[in-house]
Structure 1
Amino acid sequence: MTEPDAAAALRLDLHARALGDMSSGKPKRLVRALEYQAEDLAPEAMDLATEADFLSVLRGARATDQLVEMWRKQLTRWDYHENALWSGHPPRTDGRRAEAYALLGVGEETGKHLDTLVPVSKAAGTVVISTEHKLWYTPQSLQGRPWYWPAYRRLLTEKGWPEDVVAGLDEATDRVVERLADPTAPEAYQSKGLVVGYVQSGKTANFAGVIAKAMDAGYRLVIVLGGTLNMLRAQTQRRLDMELVGRENIMRGGTEYESDYADDPAWSQGKFAAFGAMPSTLGAFDIHRMTTRDVDYQSLQQGIAALESDKQEPGLPLCHPRNLHRAAARLMVVKKNSTVLEKLVKDLRKIQTPLSEIPVLIVDDESDEASVNTSNLAKPDAERTAINRKISELLRMLPRAQYVGYTATPFANVFIDPSDTEDIFPKDFIISLPRPDGYMGARDFHDLDSDLSEEERTFANSNEMAHVRSIVMEDDEDDTCLERAMDMFLLTAAMKLYREDKGGLDDRYFQHHTMLIHESVRQDDHRELLARVTRLWWNAGYSGAAGRDRLRTLFDTDVAPVSAVRADGQSVPASFEDLAPYIGPAVIRIGGDDKPIIVVNGDKDIETGEADFDKRSIWKILIGGQKLARGFTVEGLTVSYFRRRAGNASTLMQMGRWFGFRKGYQDLVRLYLGRQEAMGKKEIDLYEGFEAICRDEEAFRAELAQYSVTVDGRPQVTPDQVPPLVWQHIPWLKPTSPNKMYNSRLVTVRSPGEWQEPTAYPTKTVDLRHNTNLWTPVLDGLSAESTRLSYRFAEKNVTHRFPALTGRMGSRELLDLVSRARWGAPSQFAPHLDYLREITMSEPAQVDDWIVLAPQHAQPGKRIRLGSSGRTYSYFGRDRRRAPLFGAISDVKHRAAAMRIAGSLTDSGDATVEGLVAPRRGVIVLYPVVESAHRTGLGEGDSLDPSQVVMAFGFVAPASARSDDGRVLRFTTVDSSQEGVAIIDTATGATSD
């Protein structure tokens, strides 16, 4: 080893030791820590124990250098630490990092170089809605005991997970575990919570981390409810076995070849976690698996010995620390099946150890499916649904059981009756996980809030143009669209082979490449579809002139232009001729075994292969229904052909198997989607449906984030007050079943600087006429000509423009008007009215006046005559989702200018808009709405009776109109003696929004 190499190795050792001493605590004086460690190393180590030496290395370092990676790991931990008592700044902020440097005692230049090499992550953190809880899960309480979490953390790092992602997982799992009950507490407490992720976004990694930390803390029986299908249960079991349980716990003294994973390539390749020996011989505890990859829970042989927990000290309860931390843990991954769960319940009843002494963690994967009770218990003789009844029975039997549900579609769970103590309502916490980096979700297939016209959209600036292809029904009668989708599947296969060969920014091997065809859940339909797809594949003529001409055209018009602007450094062939040599190998990779198609639907007569991505590389077309519609990960999914309809948002979103991580091939992902299919008398559009779900989901998460901030150390909102935060954007797609939509009642919604939009307008003609007559004088008082308003989003290079008539109202004038307005569901607007009254009548008032905007259509048409003045105004065609509620009424491009005038956005770049900005000023935006029943035969400038117009509006209160106490919401219940009981508007049957 040369002298520089020797010095570099010594420096690495020195810094590793110093940072190791700080790894679980706060930053300490760096030079002092280096000098202390240098005493135990070679004499020359003292020369390296200086900031000057460290700075000299940083000046010429690269981000990938070993020393930088070491510091990246530790700085990221400090950046992410949620409860850092040594810091007065929030996680992931420049202030937090600056405090770390100050405690380390490093100079300004050293800090600047570290910031350049290891930038502060500004990623969103975990959002928590929670009741107050006892602080028990602390580093001090766990001192010396963690075993499975550190091992899991190391495994993820070795797999190449970025340190900030691992740190984010560490922080998120802490938020869950600290809200469980202390497993060693003398008194039993049963916590129930919900973790909300994204579809196909890595929720399993989160609950694997929660299980690891919970076991380390003392939970000794872990029951994972792994979906309703064998394939999903098996996939979950393997993931936990590979990353958490480990080889030694799986073999339990047996040979490699006796393992149930002997035929799994990852087992022979050494990808399963390993500890070197049984954990119990290394000072930890073992995990006993009660289920395997292929075998669900079965009634135990030889009585129930396998579930017994031997006490080291019989005179103490099992949950006492002297017993608990010496006992082995039990893990089972159980299918949500009432028969399987009944076996488990019977075995638990036979255990000699009192069940009240066993700390149990129940993790419910896809908790909104099957677990939720759908029977109305208020009806006489009503019983819970079978699976919900068994889960309730488990919770009743196990006083120390903690229930944590995981889902990407939480609406069914939050609408459970909170007062039903036997149910799974997340009474203690709801945790929303941040969107992971590199994740493709609904937003990545839509152009939300884009103001670009159709002519301005390109493959570069439009997600829809880049990734979404419409299934045109007329063309699909002769399978034209399906054939084109299959051609795309082959082309993207060839592109992956090209990238494997040519390398690039992400030189990788693509183990799986799949296409999913999802048209129906009916097995009979799958038979017909299998015949169609088989015929199309073998008649495609990919080796002949006709097939190659189709592929060339598709490459030149679709693949090449999209990848040219979205490949993100991946290799892209310059022409079809460069890609052509890879098409033949791609055909062989997919259909060389004469089985290009796998049917996954449980029909043994037509299932053509096993979709087990763990055992082999799969380059196939998959046909399926319910089995592929929820939870199960379709690896390598690149092309999706989707025509399946659904009646609610939760079901439709879970069918989005094309969501997930597409490292190295995001530009190749294509979604072929049915558009405007007939559903009864309505026309629906699946693309519109997914866009609405995306908006619903983002609105819900934004609400959770807003109300998660504590005030004076107390939560603004508890889980039983969450249902009003659920939105619905389009009429035909409800969040979940109406019989699950219980609710609390909002009294006040404080919304300074935020767009608010009531939708519960009346249906009675007398009320509609009353409202129109209220607002008509305001319309008559607006400017004679429209003014063009705009707002430029500089960071997105997008401008929202629209013409509008303008005017002004005094604050008390507006309050008087909206106080006299009539509503179809008064409870919806009442919380907003309470806030408007609060900011208008306060001393001093928090609002001086309101700018009134009436957006006008840029093109002729859609104008009606209102009032006695004979003026015409643009109207908006909208329909109710269900009486009395409309969906969204406003146009998104109207909102930014209004929010700027109210002071919640920065400079608009529009002099006209800036001229309207004033302190303590709000904005009202008027929308004369004409429903479809009155639009038939309506001509340009026709008069309408006031009873045929819905005078809708949105508003933005002044951004400065905030409450002194910082609270945003105020709630009440119908019966205040039953705090937490779910409430609906009993007069209208509508839930409060």
Structure 2
Amino acid sequence: MTDSPYVDAYLGALAAMTRLGKPRDLNALAAAQAELLDADIAIEDELLRRHLETAGLNDSLRSELLTTTAKWDNAPEPDWAEGTTPNTPARREVITRLLKFGDETAALFNEKCSIAGVPKPTVIAQEWAPWYTDDIRKRRTYYWRNYEEYLATRKGWSPEARASLDIATDRVVERLADPTQPESYKAKGLVAGYVQSGKTANFTGVVAKAIDVGYRLVIVLTGTTDILRAQTQRRLDMELVGRENILGGADEDDPVATHGLDYQDDRDWIERRFLEHGISPRLAGRPNIHRLTTQRGDYKSLSQGIIALDFPRRDEGKPIYDPDNLFTTDARLAVVKKNSRVLDKLVVDLKRSAARMEDLPVLLVDDESDQASVNTSNPKKWKEDRKERTAINRLIAQLLSMLPRAQYVGYTATPFANVFVDPSDAEDIFPNDFLISLPRTPGYMGPEDFHDLDSTIPDDALDYANSNRKAHVRFLPDEMPADHSDLRAAMDTFVLAGAIKLYREATGDETFRHHTMLVHEHAHTIVHREQADRIRKVWEESGYYTSTAHERLRTLFEDDVLPVMHARSDGRPVPSDYARLAPHIGEVLARVGSSGNPVLVVNSDKIEGENLDFDRQAVWRILVGGNKLARGFTVEGLTVSYYRRQTKQGATLMQMGRWFGYRKGYRDLVRLYITDDMYEAFEAVCLDEKYFRDQLDRYAELVDGKPQITPAQVPPLVAQHLPGLRPDAPNKMYNAKLTERRSPGFGVEPTAYPVKGELLAANVETFAPLFAAANGDIHTFKTPANRDFQARVGIVSHGVMLRTLEDLIWGDGDNFAPDLAWLRRLNSGDIHDWAVIFPQLGIRNPSRLLIGSGPFSLHHRDRRRPPYFGALSDPKHRAAADCIAGVPQVVDDEQARTLLRPRRGALLVYPVIERDPSGHQDGEADIRQVVMTFRVTAPTTADRLNRPFVTFVTKNSLRATDAIVDK
């Protein structure tokens, strides 16, 4: 069935149900829609089933039905759901019953539109008074509905992705203040996404919904560069503001009326790819959006600021926030670079209109909120290119203070600067009200896609299919080769990847407008020009039109590119041999060198060579850059990254990860050329971020309807495992102190151990009872990769275990104290004994006696920064320990099951050496060089009370909501 009236009737029925907010008889509503369309068509359950049987993935009816159902599947507690749990067969049964599907149609529908579950955000928030009701969502959804439709029809977003965005933006908007309430309240929150993961889409959706519900001045603060501000402005204009608002009533066919319009020469504007509302929103009873900035122009002082920022009231006797005035008033939008001179102009104009601003609901969105917005009172912390942070922070604070109804929402991919905010920020942009961690969305290629985090597969079994590192990462020598062979290899991969994109265009339905390579070696702009000259020389000397170069490309294709494609192409066209690819090589070279210059320098000062405008032109280039390309700016078509820059700041590392993002149609072609040291540094930061988000997920669950933690309690919680994240000012401290952390069934791995030899020796001696207990037979366990590993195992009582842990000396006293406090509270009804497991390595690894017991394998680990290690336990060993503690496992490990007992915990123990193991001769180990590290998993049955996993005390109860207070 492909008749358009038939599909339109069902789409109209689904739109009606969306407005109702609940499932109803779909066929009956579709029949009513058909009458409105004057369509003489049959609407029957059997015909709908036949349509779904043949519908492809891009079928509009199937797509919209899936989107609508996904929202119903995920709805928390709708009144129509009969108490069913989200994303369960029971919830789906209610939905299909209310849709009045027959049994066969329901079965087919569930097969075509499976209950996959939409990724949801994690929310840490204060308690708040709900106001963003289903009724408001249904009645005030003009800009959001048009934006969501644009994502579906113009950008090809899947139903799951749209439903996930809808849910995530709801979580933000519902925690802003009700714009119509008489009392003013200034909510402050932080939204943590991933680098290049769609944060702009999220805040665009938040802005759309905020304007729908009554926010009438929206200020979007972008990064510190013009190129990023222009990119953000265009994105909002194209996907949210729309043609009608941009034209402002002007006839777009009248060259005089549209003179100076910022998109007149824009390809997407000319080809009508900008969102269209159909009519002026004001004519539809909705607010128009007036832009205070344009793509080409940042905020400028308004010659008539009072008029431009005037918000007329229908009833002068009532405040602006009164619904009679608010919903008859247009909205203003300003997209402003974080530059003190620009922001100062905005502050001055708002001061001139201060009398009218008191009652105005304002939304302040701070993109890249960890850049420039966070204040610092210590200039030693900041690099030269961050010298204006304090000025920007002061101006943001001024904006918030002069706008009593302003709501602040920061967006970042590196949340630590905001969560562990400097003490002086405690009263301005700390996210006191909410902290929201966005989920990874389908199709996103993030940090873990370049690492084998928690992999249980032995190194000798890794291949392109099961190892992200082998598939996507190519390691560079520490020193740059004199012949630049490493850079040439990256360029060769870039050329081959471009040819494969063209091959896929010719043999499939993918199109690739952009194809880029990024070279990132240095932060300083003065070095970039020298790098560009070197890259141009290597490009010229590569001889891509010669037979020698073709043989080099053929070898790279056959040895590297083709095997990865076979493992990871995901059904996309793959050329069977180099001969099928060779005809496209010339087109790649022509596009990259079309301007006579294959290299563009993009630094903090300017773009050298030609404009870099992904919106107005196709870009096939090698880009050389630093900070401008390392923060917020999206490098379209990025396929190959050559990375040598050194930095010690974790947030800087993550932001420089431009290779993260959406790589539709060429994910298998993505390569990262990087040094071992930098790769390990990235992995460490990835693990930190993963731990942070896992913590938030765990503690976000409500207990008795109340939050376990608030944003003010997040810093001391996470600081237990992330070194160096403490208030720096000597007269400041965190107000919340973590006193107890319960973890039944969760592995806990302290990381802060002493450095001095005598303290290490004391810890080894403390472990003597555990050595003695595990001094017997060797046990063989299974790994998730179905490999065996051997371990010494002993059983000790809870009392013996507790005394051992209590007597240990720590490199950071707070590192394990909250976990130990909980273990002390467990009695014989919670836990009886512990299995102590010492994993043993192969015969080529050091194995020594420890104070007469053993021998035990010594494991090599490096400290990330004294006294802290990174990950200590081996992922291959965790399944056995967790199984013994009662955690359900996929692996059927008979040996682990024989050790499973009620009320038994498990302790994985790793005697660690940090130096060259060759110094450890046979016999007794030098215990002054052995660090006793471990991972503890309490039994799942321990502490069965329904109470929060964490307990805090407030040091200053009079300022309980402040994250940081005076000592």
TM (norm. structure 2) is 0.93
Deviation at 1:852, TM superposition (A): 0.7
Runs (5+) with no aligned partner, structure 2: 253-257, 382-386
Matches within 5 A, 1:476-875: 476-503=481-508, 507-603=509-605, 607-675=608-676, 685-726=677-718, 744-763=736-755, 767-792=759-784, 798-799=785-786, 801-839=788-826, 841=827, 845-867=829-851, 869=852, 871-875=854-858
Question: CA shift at 1:831, angstroms?
Answer: 1.1
AA in 2 matched with 1:145: R
Q: Is the 8 A contact 1:880 1:887 kept in 2?
A: yes
CA separation in 2, counterparts of 1:756 and 1:784? 26
Q: Aligned residue for 2:950?
A: 969
Displacement, 1:885? Answer: 3.1
In 2, are the aligned partners of 1:415 and 1:742 still within 8 Å (CA)?
Answer: no
Looking at structure 2, the residues matched to 542 and 62 of structure 1 have their Cα atoms a distance apart, in angstroms, of 42
**Take 1:66 and 1:769, find their aligned partners in 2: how far apart are those partners?**
69
On the 8 A contact 1:649/1:736 being kept in 2, the answer is no
The residue number in structure 2 matching 1:134 is: 129
> Is 2:71 aligned against 1:77?
yes
Does the CA contact (< 8 Å) of 1:233 and 1:335 recur in 2?
yes
Give the secondary structure class of the aligned counterpart of 1:828.
coil
State whether residues 289 and 330 of structure 1, in contact with CA within 8 Å, keep that contact through their aligned partners in structure 2.
Answer: yes
Alpha-carbon distance, 1:764 to partner: 5.7
Deviations 1:153-199 (A, max 9, x none): 11111112112211111111111000000111100000000111110
Check 1:786–1:737 CA distance in 2 against 1; reply closer, same or farther (3 A cut). Answer: farther
| Equivalent pair of 1:415/1:723 in contact (CA under 8 Å) | yes
Map of 2:384 onto structure 1: none
In structure 2, do the counterparts of structure 1 residues 37 and 486 end up closer, same or farther at CA, with 3 Å as the change threshold? closer
- 1:694 maps to a residue whose letter is C
Q: Given the alignment of the two structures, is residue 180 of structure 1 paired with residue 176 of structure 2, yes or no?
A: yes
Change (3 A) 1:751 1:355: same
CA contact 2:219–2:365 (8 Å) conserved in 1: yes
CA apart distance, 1:806: 0.6
SS at match of 1:689: helix
Which residue is equivalent to 2:103?
A: 108
Taking a change above 3 Å as real, the CA distance of residues 813 and 641 of structure 1, as seen in their structure-2 partners, is same
> Do the aligned partners of 2:465 and 2:471 also contact (CA within 8 Å) in 1?
yes
SS at match of 2:673: strand
Matches of 1:742 and 1:657, distance apart in 2: 34
2:255 equivalent in structure 1? none
Q: Which amino acid aligns with 2:798?
A: S
Relative to structure 1, the CA distance from residue 767 to residue 517 in structure 2 (aligned partners, 3 Å threshold; closer, same or farther) is: closer
Please tell me whether the aligned partners of residues 749 and 968 of structure 1 are also in contact (alpha carbons under 8 angstroms).
yes
Match of 2:883 among 892, 896, 900: 900
Query: Residue deviations 1:668-707, cap 9 Å, x none?
Result: 11111122xxxxxxxxx11111222222222211111111
Query: AA paired with 1:779?
Result: F
What is the rounded CA distance, in whole Å, between the counterparts of 2:11 and 2:917 in structure 1? Answer: 76
Change (3 A) 1:873 1:70: closer
Q: 1:44 to 1:212 in 2, by over 3 A?
A: closer
Which is further off, 62-71 or 906-915? 62-71
Q: State the AA in 1 paired with 2:101.
A: V
Cα deviation for residue 575 of structure 1 reads 1.4
Contact 2:735 2:965 in 1 (8 A): yes
SS in 2 for 1:788: strand
Q: 1:129-166 deviations in whole A, cap 9, x for unaligned?
A: 11111111123235543321111111111112112211
SS in 1 for 2:815: helix
Structure 2 vs 1, CA of residues 728 and 712 (structure 1 numbering), >3 Å: closer, same or farther?
closer
**1:594: how far off?**
0.5
**Are the equivalent residues in 1 in contact too, given 2:771–2:853 (CA < 8 A)?**
no
Q: Which amino acid aligns with 2:463?
A: T
SS in 2 for 1:627: coil
SS of equivalent to 1:646: coil
Equivalences for residues 316-395 of structure 1 within 5 A = 316-351=318-353, 353-375=355-377, 385-395=390-400
Change (3 A) 1:830 1:561: same
- SS of residue matched to 1:954: strand
Q: Please identify, of 348-357 and 883-892, the stretch whose mean Cα deviation from structure 2 is larger.
A: 883-892
Distance change (3 Å), C-alpha of 1:621 and 1:758: same
CA–CA distance in 2 between the matches of 1:730 and 1:891? 19
Moved more, 229-238 or 56-65: 56-65
**In the TM superposition, what is the alpha-carbon distance from 1:736 to its structure 2 partner?**
9.8
Q: Output the amino acid matched with 2:356.
A: P
Greater Cα offset, 386-395 or 944-953 = 944-953
CA contact (8 A) 2:70 2:117 kept: no
3-state SS of the aligned residue for 1:672? Answer: strand
Amino acid at match of 1:130: A
Q: Distance in 2 between matches of 1:67 and 1:849?
A: 58
Question: Hey, what's the Cα distance between the residues in 2 that align with 1:836 and 1:588?
Answer: 67
Are residue 234 (structure 1) and residue 218 (structure 2) matched? no
Contact 1:396/1:422 (<8 A) preserved: no
- The whole-number CA distance in structure 1 between the counterparts of 2:631 and 2:954 is 36
Distance across 1 between alignment mates of 2:534 and 2:388: 44
Identity, in percent, stands at: 48
Alignment of 1:28-43 (within 5 A): 28-30=24-26, 33=29
Kept after mapping to 1: 8 A contact 2:476/2:673: yes
1:910 to 880, 885, 893: 893
2:483 and 2:879 mapped to 1: Cα distance? 45
Match of 1:204 in 2: 200
Work out the CA distance in 1 between the residues paired with 2:480 and 2:939. Answer: 52
Cα offset, 1:735, TM superposition: 7.1
Tell me the CA shift for residue 39 of structure 1. Answer: 7.3
1:882-912 C-alpha deviation (Å, 9 max, x unpaired): 4443333222222111111111132532221
Deviation, 1:278, is 2.2
Evaluate the alpha carbon distance shift between residue 487 and residue 985 of structure 1 in structure 2; reply closer, same or farther with a 3 A threshold: farther
Judged with a 3 Å threshold, the aligned counterparts in structure 2 of structure 1 residues 800 and 400 are, in CA distance, closer, same or farther, namely farther
Moved more, 391-400 or 66-75: 66-75
- In 1: Cα distance, 2:490 partner to 2:37 partner: 64
Deviation at 1:13, TM superposition (A): 5.1
* Structure 1 contact 803–858 (Cα < 8 Å) conserved: no
State the distance in 2 between where 1:359 and 1:255 align: 32
The answer to whether the aligner puts 1:292 opposite 2:284 as a matched pair is no
User: What secondary structure is seen at the aligned counterpart in 2 of 1:280?
Assistant: helix
Conserved? CA contact 1:418–1:427, under 8 Å: no
Q: 1:221 aligns with which of 217, 222, 240?
A: 217
SS in 1 for 2:136: coil
The 2-side partners of 1:871 and 1:76 are apart by 56
Deviation of 1:84 (Å) = 2.3
Contact 2:422 2:728 in 1 (8 A): no
Deviates more, 1:813-822 or 1:423-432: 813-822
Work out the CA distance in 2 between the residues paired with 1:422 and 1:163. 40
Q: Is the 8 A contact 2:733 2:964 kept in 1?
A: no
How many residues align structurally? 950
Structure 1-normalised TM-score?
A: 0.91
**Which range is displaced more, 346-355 or 547-556?**
346-355
Over residues 891-941 of structure 1, what are the superposed CA-to-partner deviations in whole Å (9 max), with x where a residue is unaligned? 222211111111113253222122111221100122223344xx6873323
Give the Cα–Cα distance (whole angstroms) in 2 for the partners of residues 886 and 237 of structure 1.
43
- For 2:70, the aligned partner's letter is T
Alpha-carbon RMSD: 2.8
- TM-superposition CA deviations, 1:790-819 (whole Å, max 9, x none): 232xxxxx2364221110011222223323
Q: CA deviation at 1:30?
A: 4.6
Q: Paired residue for 2:439?
A: 434
| 1:267 positional shift | 0.6
Shift in Å, 1:752: 1.0
Name the SS of the counterpart of 1:900 in structure 2: helix
Q: How far apart, in 1, do the equivalents of 2:118 and 2:786 lie? A: 26
Deviation at 1:974, TM superposition (A): 3.0
Distance 2:441 2:33 in 1: 38
Which amino acid is the alignment partner of residue 186 of structure 2? Answer: Q
Residue 959 of structure 1 corresponds to: 940
Aligned counterparts of 1:759 and 1:128: Cα–Cα separation in 2: 27
Inter-partner Cα distance in structure 1 for 2:34 and 2:372: 60
